[in-house]
Amino acid sequence: MGFSAQMPMFTAVAGMPAWLLVTIGAILGAIIGSFLGTVAVRLPAGRGIIRAPSACDGCRQRLRPWHLVPIVSWLALRGRCQSCAAPIGQGQLVAEVLGAAIGALAWWAPPGLALPAMVLGWQLLLLGLLDARCLWLPWRLNAALALSGVAVAVADNRLPFALAGGGLGYGLLGLVAWGYRRVRGREGLGGGDPLLLGAIGLWVGPVGAVHVLLGAALLGLAVAGLMARRGSRIDAATRLPLGTFLAAAAWPVFLLDLR
């Protein structure tokens, strides 16, 4: 059981031309991606997110409006501060590009489901960025992902299906964490990983949760293999951002399930 083809509460823009929807989605997504990239830097450091003005981390020079145009400003400045030439992290550009891609590709979903697809994608983007940067999946963000999944499921009259996916997603990684702890005598997974897969399961259902876990495992193996080829030592103590892999796998699984 997947999503229905139509969700009346989300169909207001279904009659607009496809090119216009994609353009609007990409622009909006780039703006949101820029904000999420900033949140991913400031939140772990305990810095203000909304009220604090945008400034260079090197010289603290306040950024002008033309320095804040997503993607374009980074490319125009060649990834450096105009005042002190300090490098601007590529993570910001990645966040903006991925945010734009989510906003554009979400319209691949059936009419009425593009907005939920965007909401899911941008939440996963923030969680993936945070885990990639500092191996941290805040429970509040996991809770927000779960609550939005429940809201969409209620709107689409598929709450039992969603709850089954959430329970299975949490249970799968919870069981892995328990088994690793029993065998190795120490933690092998972060506490946020089972919560994240559980929240994702509320969006994609039980079969989707399994697909997401398999996709994340393949991504993790690919990243570990690439690290090994570059000379990094990979062993039991190596920490990889499983949450990032889960987030990266979840959105394609969600879109493919819609089709």
Summarize pLDDT for 135-174 with one digit per residue, the tens: 999 999 999 999 999 999 999 999 999 999 999 999 999 9
Convert the pLDDT of each residue in 8-30 to its tens digit.
Answer: 444 445 567 888 889 999 999 99
Q: Which of 126, 73, 118 lies closest to 95, judged by CA?
A: 126
What is the pLDDT, as a whole number, of residue 184?
Answer: 79
* Domain annotation covers residue 97: yes
* Domain annotation covers residue 219: yes
What is the pLDDT, as a whole number, of residue 68?
Answer: 79
Contact 220, 248 (CB under 8 A): no
Number of domains present in the structure of the chain: 1
Q: How many residues does the structure list for the chain?
A: 259
* Spatial CB neighbours of 149, under 8 Å, sequence gap ≥ 6: 120, 162, 166, 199, 200, 202, 203
Q: Which of 68, 130, 125 lies closest to 98, judged by CA?
A: 125
Residue 234 phi/psi, 5-degree rounding, is -115, 115
* Domain annotation covers residue 237: yes
What is the pLDDT, as a whole number, of residue 15?
Answer: 66
As a whole number of angstroms, the distance between CA 227 and CA 56 comes to 31
Q: Rg of the chain over CA atoms, in angstroms?
A: 19
Residue written as token pair 């804040």: 68
The range of the structural domain enclosing residue 219 comes to 8-258
* Domain annotation covers residue 140: yes
Query: Cα–Cα distances in Å, from 188 out to 54, 168, 207, 240, 250?
Result: 37, 19, 24, 11, 22
* Domain annotation covers residue 3: no
* Domain annotation covers residue 1: no
Residue 87 phi/psi, 5-degree rounding, is -65, 140
* Domain annotation covers residue 60: yes
What is the pLDDT, as a whole number, of residue 10?
Answer: 44
pTM: 0.90
What is the pLDDT, as a whole number, of residue 238?
Answer: 81
Contact 169, 159 (CB under 8 A): no
Task: Specify the amino acid at residue 190.
Answer: G
54-92 in b/e burial notation, b at 16+ Cβ within 10 A? eebeeeeeeeeeebeebbebbeeeeeebbeeeeebeeeb
What is the pLDDT, as a whole number, of residue 11?
Answer: 45
Task: Specify the amino acid at residue 75.
Answer: L
As a whole number of angstroms, the distance between CA 43 and CA 50 comes to 11
What is the pLDDT, as a whole number, of residue 218?
Answer: 97
What is the pLDDT, as a whole number, of residue 250?
Answer: 98
* Domain annotation covers residue 119: yes
As a whole number of angstroms, the distance between CA 217 and CA 181 comes to 19
The parts of the chain modelled with pLDDT lower than 70 are 1-15, 58, 259
The number of beta carbons lying within 10 Å of the beta carbon of residue 51 is 5
Residue 164 phi/psi, 5-degree rounding, is -65, -40
